[in-house]
Every structure is written in structure tokens, then in C-alpha cells.
Amino acid sequence: MNRITLALTGASGMAYGLRLLECLLRAGCQVDLLISQAARIVAKQELDLQLPTGNAEVVAFFDARYRGHGGRLTAYGKEEWFSPAASGSNPAAAMAVCPCTMGTLAAIAQGLADNLIERAADVMLKEKRPLILVPRETPFSLIHLRNMTALAEAGATILPANPGFYHRPGNVEQVVDFIVARILDHLGVAHELMQPWGG
């Protein structure tokens, strides 16, 4: 079972993160889910979704939401330093931070590792595992660009939530799926969200 760490942070674009979670679980992945407090606020603001705070409640919530998904979900709090994601001795196959705030991106770029999301990303970089960061910000400041450059040089993939329109999306869900499909491609997870170019 492909094991992926997924972090949801407080950037706009919570629909991307939740659709990615759904697709990972439906693909049969084992997902270690990390949710920041700001992500809970954004989920309520953007989607009228009240995410639970307890780990068991988070798992029950998404298991019910994506009933019969076929994957395996575990949730961890921001200071659970004994979780698998916190150590290079038990890293996931890959990690995505979706959506990714500029604050989280900056902290990862500087190696701060002050909470589990930052530490898990730090583990991915030091163990040379795929780390995908999905910022949803515009415009980018010079500080943002320098942090993204540092992360790209360290081996991370910067995948901004900038959807294409050549597939002529007919609704918001198809716009979201464009980005989620690209993330899944970089995670090495098979999907049928988009036809490959020229396919």
C-alpha cells in the first residue's frame, strides 16, 4: 500500500486538498493526514465544513465522507512527535502540502521544523523523498520566490495551484481536478481525472 503524508494548511484552496485526500484514499493509499488550525478555519470559510479536532474524529469524519474508499487513513496532531512522519527511520513514500501557506513554505525552506507538518517536510527533504508543495498565492513576493527557489534546490517540487484551461472545464470541480491530477502524477499515484496530453 502506497503511503503518503498529506498536510492541509491555511492557504485558500481547501477544495484542492480535500479532493486530493479523496483521490488518494480511493486509490488505496495509506494516508497520514496532518491538519493545521488555520486549515480548519479556511475549510469552514470556503466550504462550510467543520473539521473535527480529535484524531479519531477526523478519521471517522473522512471515512464517512468518502465511504468505501479502500485506503487507510490516520490523523496526527501538530505536536505528535512519535508519529511516523516525524522520523527518517519510518518516512512515507512521498508528502504533499496542499494547500500550502507562504508561512509553512518559508518555515520548511528554513528548516525550522517547529510542528509536525514542518518536521515531516524536513524528513522528506533529508531522506530525498518526493515533497510537493502547492502554494495558492498571487502575486509572489521576492521573499516567496527565494523561499521556493531554496526548496526547489533542496529537491522539493513547487506545484502552484495554477489550473490550465485547454481541457475546457465546465465547472469548478474540473478546475480543481486539473491541479489534483498533476499532484497525483508527481506522487506516482494512478488516476483517471485527466486524459494525458495527446492521449
**Domain residue spans of the chain:** 3-187
Given this model, what pLDDT does residue 194 score?
87
Class of domain 3-187: alpha beta
pTM of the model: 0.97
pLDDT in single tens digits along all 199 residues of the chain? 799 999 999 999 999 999 999 999 999 999 999 999 999 999 999 999 999 999 999 999 999 999 999 999 999 999 999 999 999 999 899 999 999 999 999 999 999 999 999 999 999 999 999 999 999 999 999 999 999 999 999 999 999 999 999 989 999 999 999 999 999 999 999 999 988 777 6
CB within 8 Å of 29: residues ≥ 6 apart: 1, 2, 3, 4, 71, 72, 189
**Are 9 and 39 a contacting pair, CB within 8 Å?**
yes
Per-residue model confidence (pLDDT) at position 152: 98
Give residue for cell 477544495. 15
